[in-house]
A and B are shown apart, each in its own frame.
Chain A
Amino acid sequence: MSKQEMFKDRNISEDYFFLDIEDYPTTPWEKFKRVVKRSLKGELFVGLWVVLREMIKFDIHTVQYPEEKLPIGPRYRAVHEMKRLWESGTERCIGCGLCEKICISKCIRIETRYDENQRKEVGEYSINLGRCIYCGYCAEVCPELAITHGGEYENASEQREHFILYEDMLTPIDDVLNKKQREFQGFGAITPHEDERLKKTPLAY
């Protein structure tokens, strides 16, 4: 076999076998015969019987959403959360604009300004959740772990405006003060032994 033939040869496994598929019916009479054959096989009643049997058993495994909800994985990417600093409760976002830059569906908009304390203040921050594809790039690029994906996946609404509320994404100040803020455990997260790994800067004179 030449190289080209080897490349084109799709039969990569010895275990390949061909399915025994009947030819498609072509004449109307043959088509009619196939319909009758399939309908009168009795398989329909098998299905109906299973449903009836399970109904009588009352042993149902269906999750009763919205009364019941399944726990979701910690790395699940749902509606974003804007985190606050543990120490002070101020917002972690420094307004670097990297999330806005990297966003491939261009749903993040951010405006910053020079505030009266001579610091960079984030004036406007919005994510258009109606357009977001939840790819997670924003969380990955964030240098401050300020934006992460949370587990809040229920974001149906009658109005598009509801998809953009920053206040909904921001961790409530009370949660931080009560140490309820959840840290993201994914890429870039603070590792459990971070304290030991820290090196002192020479500023300790």
Chain B
Amino acid sequence: MVKFTIDNIPVEAQKGETILEVARRYGIYIPTMCYISKTNPCASCRICSVEVEGVDGFVLSCNTPPTEGINVTTNSQKLEEERTNIMKLYDVNHPLECGVCDKSGECDLQNKTLEFGIARQSFSAKDQFREVKHWNLIDYDPSLCILCEKCVHVCNEVIGDDAIEIKVGGYKSTIVPKDADTLDCTFCGECIAVCPVGALVSSNFKYSANAWELKRIPATCAHCSAGCPLEYEVRHSGIDGDQKIYRVKNNFEFSNLCGAGRFGFDFDAKALPHQKIAQKAVDALQKADAIEFSSIITNEEALILQKIKEKLGLKLVNEDARLFKNFMESFASASGKRLYEADLEEVKKSDAIIVFGTQIATDNPGVRYAITTASKQNGAKVSYFHPIEDALLQNVVTQFVKMEAGTEEGVAALMAKELLKDSKLPKELQEYFESLDEGYLEAESNVGEEEFAQMSVFFKRAKNKTLIAGADLFAHPRAKNIAKLLGFIQRYSDYKVLIVPKEVNTLGVSLLCELDEPVEDGYIVGYNTKGDYTISSFDESANLVVPALNQQEGTVTSIDKRVLPTNVALAFDGVCLNDIANLLGIEKRYTIDYTKELGRANEAFADVEFDTLENFLGRLGEDIRGYKLKNSDVSVNFSIEEVEELPEFNGVVVYHADPVLQFNAYTAKTAQLPKENTLRGSKQFAIAAKIENGEKIVLDLGDMKIERVFELDEDLKGTVAINPTFDVEMKPNRYRFEKSKIERVQS
């Protein structure tokens, strides 16, 4: 704790805080141009200069930690002059096109120019031709750029794409794609968000609306379980005045958004007249044996489905949530806690991270950004256990451990033994680990002592350790045992475990619904998935169309174990699940009337009215959205099964994983997101499968066949190809690695 004063106000700084951070915490204003809270200070603008008593010249408040007893002045005649001069230099030759500029109205340069009262451009430099660059979803206008470097820092330190850099050349300096002619990145668009001027803009949004015309709807992203906060910006479109989402923005100061969240917003559903008849859905439900549904729904919808189940006595089938629920139950029976311990904030703070059983960069970009932040800002070491190397995390992963597909159980056992070797374990576990046939497991899984020895060297000094486990494990035949091993790791080691749910509300559905085993035959009503009678918000050919997640109020449960509210961005003309429930005699006026009943359905939830839930980040980045689930104690069961014989995956093996920016049928529907649905494999795979680049093939998975084009990916190694799933409806109870046959399509 350091005590000092700012403008004669006594303040206290915590360890590692800078003068600027302390001032902001106390609500003292220091102007900044290039500062952004989630990265290390760029220190390029020098507007945040302050005076410190007894120190000659100015001190940069953004990157200077205070020392005991100093007196800081944030405003004086000299500082004002200094800052005004900096602003004058920023304004040199800045195009006077505020009237048409996209940023006008929310532009930092505009605001600060007015704040410092700069009425005219008093300096000039010989202007030069600067070409507007079109980088796919992003447009860059160098003449508007003020070179604050925010975009470069965010891209490098938080996102991890490291795709842009500053080309230094005095007045000619610009932002350029790193080592490439055009921008080749994951198109998260975070550079657009942080750009204080109109230099980096979304090419789709460009010049189509102005900041002051758009209405901001706070919501939660509908694409993955990270539950990122975002704002849909809506305005009427055309003369008829239909509302349309123009763009998505986020609180870039503290939170991140991936490209799917930012550019994939136009997934709203439209119902044709014959798709609005609720009575037909009621009839279908009454004769149905089961409702099969996906986890891309709100908590309230899940609760309504549960009530329909109770009322009509049918079965609820959702394999994604059921497998997750089983996994979490086994996990809880070992860890003693109902939920996992870690969250994204915890990951950001970690200095040692293990990733296991997931291709995390595409499965959950939110976790990816948290890992990148930890790596770049705390120097966190990352060990990544997977059969396929994650190209997007290459710069972040310290140790990639290539394991064999299907051997997760063996690796989990070895990992648990390693991580728990210094912990005091109960007798059962000690015996269990002693009796492990390590030689066999190491030989089959390809993960051995060496790797773990290396890992412990990397993690030697680490204090905050996190283990991230993901979707590969849920559908694994031995999922229960893997979950138990992870549970023991959380219970007996200093590792905090984060289990990454697959869909936006897998966690919520798994808590709220009593789920049944899949039904072999019988009449099935599909809710957001295909059935004999389909009720869906993605499928245009559905029998009944219901609102999509950007058209309804409700809450979703995120990876952070938070219940997050989301709001209506676009109106929906048709019926929703609540209307059907009302016809069935489960009466509530609005869907959100169920929000306060969530706590009665599962004690992890709270009995809170929807309208009292907040949806914003605080001034200092505090997460005030929704509420946190209660994590309660459960009884521990020490029994654990022996590791079974590890399966071998030989021949043609594919891994079901979506490409960047694609998650589900919502993202597949959007206009801007790329829809690359090729089967990607390495040269080695191509030789093994006897196919060539660009060849049309049919992927035979036994019970289903998928037509794909094969794409040779130079970045990939090994014999496993990646098969996207966003464009095909694939049962979530399939283990993500599959042996398959590949047939060429004769043209």
Contacts and interface: CB of A to CB of B under 8 A. Distances in A.
Interface string A194-205: 000001011101
A132 interface: no
B238 interface: yes
Contact of A101 (B100, B203, B212): B212
Given A97-B209, A97-B213, A202 B122 contact: yes
Contacts of A202: 121-124
Contact of B237 (A111, A143, A144, A205): A111
Nearest to B96: A201
B589 interface: no
Contacts of B104: 96
A114 B99 contact: no
A126 interface: yes
Interface in A82-131: 94-98, 100-101, 109, 111-114, 118-121, 124, 126
Contacts of B236: 109
Given A97-B213, A111-B237, A205 B124 contact: yes
Nearest to A111: B238
Size bracket of the A interface: 20 to 34
A205 B126 CA distance: 8
Interface in B88-121: 93, 99-100, 104, 120-121
B120 to A, nearest CB: 7
Interface in B495-547: none
A200 to B, nearest CB: 10
A81 to B, nearest CB: 19
A109 B207 contact: no
B208 A113 contact: yes
A100 to B, nearest CB: 7
A144 B99 contact: yes
B206 interface: yes
Contacts of A118: 132
A201 B99 contact: no
A155 to B, nearest CB: 19
Contact of A114 (B123, B127, B207, B210): B207
Nearest to B104: A96
Contacts of B203: 114
Contact of A203 (B124, B210, B237): B124
Nearest to B237: A111
Contacts of A98: 212
A203 B99 CA distance: 20
A143 B123 CA distance: 25
Interface string A118-162: 111100101000000000000000011000000000000000000
- Binding site secondary structure of chain B: loop
Contacts of A119: 100
Given A202-B123, A205-B124, A112 B239 contact: no
B16 interface: no
B239 A124 contact: yes
Interface in B256-306: none
A205 B93 CA distance: 13
A57 B93 CA distance: 74
Size bracket of the B interface: 20 to 34
Interface string B226-248: 00000000001111010000000
B213 A100 contact: yes
Contacts of B241: 109
A98 B207 CA distance: 14
Interface string A63-95: 000000000000000000000000000000011
Given A201-B120, A202-B121, A205-B124, A97 B100 contact: no
Nearest to B121: A201
Contacts of B239: 109, 124, 126, 164
A97 B208 CA distance: 10
A94 B238 contact: no
Contacts of A109: 236, 238-239, 241
Given A94-B100, A100-B213, A120-B100, A203 B127 contact: yes
A205 B121 CA distance: 14
B99 A94 contact: yes
Contacts of A111: 208, 237-238
A94 B93 CA distance: 21
A95 B100 CA distance: 7
| Most B Cβ at <10 Å: residue of A113, A118, A124 | A118
Contacts of B206: 114
Contacts of B126: 205
A97 B123 contact: no
A201 B124 contact: yes
Interface of B: 93, 99-100, 104, 120-124, 126-127, 132, 203, 206-210, 212-213, 236-239, 241
Interface of A: 94-98, 100-101, 109, 111-114, 118-121, 124, 126, 143-144, 164, 199, 201-203, 205
10 contacts: A96-B99, A97-B212, A98-B212, A101-B212, A109-B241, A114-B206, A114-B207, A201-B124, A202-B124, A205-B126
Given A95-B100, A205-B126, 20 more contacts: A94-B100, A97-B209, A97-B210, A98-B212, A101-B212, A101-B213, A109-B236, A109-B238, A112-B207, A114-B203, A119-B100, A121-B207, A124-B238, A143-B99, A144-B99, A199-B120, A202-B122, A202-B124, A203-B124, A203-B127
